Chain A
Amino acid sequence: MFTHLTSNVRTTLLGRDASRGAVLTVGSAALALLASVVVFLVAPTHALPAFAGFLALTAVGWTTHQAETARFVTFVATVSTVLTVAFITVFLFSSAFPAVGAHGAGLLLIPVQDGQIRWFFWLDAVLPTGDSFWNPSSGAYSLIPAIWATVIVTAIAGLVAAPLGLFGALFISEVASDGVREVVKPAVEVLAGIPSIVYGFIGFQVLNGFVQTSFLDDGASFLIAGLIVGLMALPTVVSVSEDALSSVPRSMKDGSVAIGATQWQTMKSISIPAAFSGISAGVILGLGRAIGETMAVAAVMAAGVGLANPLFDVFDASATLTSLIATNYGSASASTVDVLFVAGVILFCIVAGMSVLSQFVERRMEEKLRGDA
Chain B
Amino acid sequence: MSDAYANETRLVGSESTVYDRALDGVVSLTVVGFALALLALVEVVDLAASGAELGEAFLAVLAVTVGGVAVVGAFSWANVVPVTSDRVRGVAAGAVVSVVVLTAVAYSGPSLASMLGWLLVFEAAVIVAAGVASRVGVVETSPDASAGLLAGVAFAVLGLAVGAAVGGSALGFGSPLWIVVALSCGLALGALTVAPREDVGSTLPAGLVVGALGISIASALLNVGWTWSPQAISGGFTGGVVVPLFVLTGSLLSAWAAAKAREGFGAQGRQYGTFLVINLNALLMLVVMVAIVAFVAMKGVGYAFHGFSVGAATAFVATLPVLVVALGRARTPVGAEEWHDGARQLFRVLPLSAVGAVAALFASVAVTGTELAYAFTYTVQVNREPKVLDTAVSVTPDLTVGTLVLLFASVALFAGFVRRYGSLENVGERGSRVARVRSALPVVVGALGALSVAFVVAGPTPFGVPLAGTLGYGLVSAGALGAVALAVLPATTLLATDVETGLAERAVAVAPVLVVGTFGSLSVFAVVAVLQATAGVVPTVAGYAVVPLAAVVAAVAALGFAGIVAGARRDADASIRTRLLGEELTLSLSATAGFLAVVALHVAFTGVPFELGALSVSDAGSLSWPMTLQAYIPLGAEPGGILPAIVGTVWLVVGATTFAVPLGVGAAVFLTEYAEQGRFTNLVEVATNALWSTPSIVFGLFGAAFLIPRLGGDESLLAGMLVLGFMLLPLVLITSREAIKSVPDEYRDASAALGVDKWTTVRSVVIPAAMPGVITGVILGVGRIAGETAPLILVLGSTLNATEAADVLGGFRFVSTAPFVENPALLGASASLPTQVWAVIAAGVSGSPSMGWASAFVLLLVVLTFYAVGITARTIFRRKLDYE
Contacts and interface: CB of A to CB of B under 8 A. Distances in A.
Interface of A: 15, 43-49, 66-67, 70-71, 73-78, 80-82, 84-85, 88, 91-92, 95, 164, 167-168, 170-172, 175-176, 182, 184, 186-191, 193-202, 204-206, 211, 213-218, 221, 223, 231, 234, 261-265, 268, 285, 288-289, 291-295, 298-299, 310, 313-316, 322, 325-326, 329-330, 337, 340-341, 344, 347-348, 351-352, 354-356, 359
B451 to A, nearest CB: 29
Given A322-B790, A356-B686, A197 B669 contact: no
Contacts of B760: 67
A195 B789 contact: yes
B834 interface: yes
A77 B787 contact: no
Interface stretch (B119-127, B227-235, B336-344, B521-529): B227-235
B456 interface: no
Contacts of B859: 195, 197-198
Contacts of A294: 695-697, 789-790
Given A190-B867, A191-B289, A347-B697, A329 B704 contact: yes
Nearest to A204: B841
A193 B233 contact: no
9 contacts: A75-B674, A167-B277, A168-B281, A171-B278, A171-B281, A194-B863, A197-B856, A262-B267, A285-B693
A78 B233 contact: no
Nearest to B867: A193
Contacts of A43: 818
B690 A355 contact: yes
Given A81-B664, A265-B267, A175 B278 contact: yes
B546 interface: no
Contacts of A234: 285
A319 B383 CA distance: 30
A87 to B, nearest CB: 8
B819 A347 contact: no
- Please list the 3 inter-chain residue pairs (A to B) with the smallest Cβ-Cβ separation, ordered nearest first: A195-B787, A315-B235, A292-B695
B694 A70 contact: no
B694 A264 contact: no
Contacts of A218: 234
A167 B700 CA distance: 35
Contacts of A348: 694-695, 698
A95 B706 CA distance: 10
B292 A78 contact: no
Interface string B690-714: 1111111111111011100010000
Interface string B768-787: 00000000000010011011
Contacts of A356: 686, 689-690
Interface in B289-308: 289, 292-293, 295-296
A295 B836 CA distance: 13
A299 B844 CA distance: 11
Given A67-B757, A202-B292, A299-B841, A347 B667 contact: no
B684 interface: yes
Interface stretch (B236-244, B364-372, B492-500, B745-753): B236-244
A322 B838 contact: no
A193 B784 contact: yes
Interface stretch (B268-276, B424-432, B572-580): B268-276
A46 B856 contact: no
A231 B238 contact: no
B286 A184 contact: yes
Contact of B820 (A48, A74, A299): A48
A44 B841 contact: no
Contacts of A74: 666-667, 669-670, 673-674
Given A91-B705, A352-B690, A15 B856 contact: no
B467 interface: no
Contacts of A213: 238, 240
A218 B760 CA distance: 66
Contacts of A211: 235
A288 B408 CA distance: 43
B288 A78 contact: no
A190 B864 contact: yes
Contacts of A182: 875
B503 interface: no
